[in-house]
A and B are shown apart, each in its own frame.
Chain A
Amino acid sequence: MTADVGKAAAALFVAAILQVTLFSQIDLFHGSPDLVLVTLVSVALLRGTIFGAVAGFAVGLVVDTATLQTLGVTSLLLTIAGYWIGRYGETTGRDRTHAPFVSVAVVTLLYSIGALVLHYMLGDPASASRVLLDAFPFELIFNLILTLPVYALCRRLFRPPPTGLEEVQLLG
């Protein structure tokens, strides 16, 4: 458990630093990849609700601090995202091949809508057409492209927990 916490902290911290310094500056067709979201989805899918929620909260704080944004905004969104994907991983999704891609696609959409609503409530200028029509399709494509290597790396870092069930072969 402690080793997992250390590995998750390291992976998400590196993802947050790369996100604010490199990935956020990639602007192709108004969209840019979200490495933090993809990494969080991968970690939450492999380690469950509590792990996902805490990881989301912590990495959200790092992102908000590094970019001097309103503290708590990214934390709130990523906490919910981490919990929700963790729940999906615990119940049905973890062993399915398509799970990380479905999770990233759905979370990218919900995260965009959530961020839009939250910024609107805080009085920030938020253009729904720009976020959801211009930026979202390409952000989704970038995130899905990132999912394959990031999830493979996370799967190596976080081995799936033992289920307690062992395969039994019946003879005769």
Chain B
Amino acid sequence: MTGVLVLLSIALITVYFRESSGGGLHQVQSAGATVLRPFEVAADRVSRPFRDAYGYFAGLVHAKSEVNRLRAENEQLRQEASQNAFAASENANLRKQLHFINSPHYPRGFGHVTASIIAQPPAAYEEQVLIGAGSAAGIQQFDPVVTGEGLVGTVVRVAHNQSLVALLTDDTTSVSAVDANTGAQGIVKAGASFDHVGKDQQVKSGDLLVTAGWKAPGIGLSSIYPRGIPIGRVTSVGQNEVDLYKHVQLQPFVNFETLSSLVVLFPPKTR
């Protein structure tokens, strides 16, 4: 009996792993997830006050250091805001003079669906969350996911009423990014490092990293992330003579431990 169940499990893994995301087992799983959804929502509602209380007290532990950090950041942002306002008006004038036609740019030109996190996979190494919106709400695989703070990740699996989101900190997540201060290009991996930045490019600690949103019109390829989504700030930069690229570490803007709801972006014309 046990042997049969073990073989059945292995068969399930094999078939599920080899079939496409629209295959039979995926469809069955999607239907099953829809059936389980009401129970998850009920459990979520019952447990929400306890989670909020836990979050409140957990936040108090770091409140003092957080206030000091935010005060310093606020001061810096105030200075940047005044510089940016001037740059924006200058940019608008120059675009008008050049008759510049812009491509879709975050957040303008993108539709969105807001969804709450309803579950997390039960494993320490899966940086993924389950959100309560799926294909019924227009979500598709590889849609980018954000919050007000910045990039969260991407949709990796879609069911009828649920979607699985791989977080920026997941080892499988790579995002083409650009240093907004210097224009240096690279790839943010697992939300921790800014890789493939050539030694000739300029990156310094404190620089803002945003999604690059590249396009290759000749071959019809483009990044799944629109240009300009904030990712994080550079925390350290180093290089040695052996490696081809710089070693750049970053701190994401999004606090992945306190996420409760997310925004899934999609180009409106495609849905």
User: How far is the CB of A96 from the nearest CB of chain B, in Å?
Assistant: 23
Q: How far is the CA of A38 from the CA of B54 in the complex (A)?
A: 23
Interface pick from B29-37, B81-89, B224-232: B29-37
User: How far is the CB of A100 from the nearest CB of chain B, in Å?
Assistant: 20
With A24-B122, A25-B120 as contacts: A54 and B1 at CB distance below 8 Å:
yes
Contact pattern, B 76-120, Cβ under 8 Å of A = 1, otherwise 0: 000000000000000000000000000000000000000001111
Q: Are B43 and A70 neighbours in the complex by a CB distance under 8 Å?
A: no
Q: Are A20 and B122 neighbours in the complex by a CB distance under 8 Å?
A: yes
Interface pick from B62-70, B156-164, B242-250: B156-164
Q: A72: which of B1, B9, B47, B159 is its contact (CB, 8 Å)?
A: B9
Contact pattern, B 4-40, Cβ under 8 Å of A = 1, otherwise 0: 0110111111001100000001000100110010011
Tally of chain A residues near chain B (CB < 8 A): 56
Q: B11: which of A19, A62, A72, A127 is its contact (CB, 8 Å)?
A: A72
Q: Does B73 contact A (CB under 8 A)?
A: no
Contact pattern, B 118-147, Cβ under 8 Å of A = 1, otherwise 0: 111111111000100000000000000000
Q: How far is the CA of A49 from the CA of B6 in the complex (A)?
A: 13
Tally of chain B residues near chain A (CB < 8 A): 45
Q: Which residue of the partner chain B has the closest CB to A136?
A: B124
Contact pattern, A 15-34, Cβ under 8 Å of B = 1, otherwise 0: 00111111111110011101
Q: Are B125 and A24 neighbours in the complex by a CB distance under 8 Å?
A: no
Most buried by B among A66, A115, A131: A66
- The chain B residues found within 8 Å of chain A, CB to CB, are 1-2, 5-6, 8-13, 16-17, 25, 29, 32-33, 36, 39-40, 43-44, 47, 50-51, 54, 117-126, 130, 157, 159, 162-164, 170-172, 257
- The chain A residues found within 8 Å of chain B, CB to CB, are 13, 17-27, 30-32, 34, 36, 49-50, 53-54, 56-57, 60, 62-76, 79-80, 83, 112, 115-116, 119, 122, 124-127, 130-131, 134-135, 139
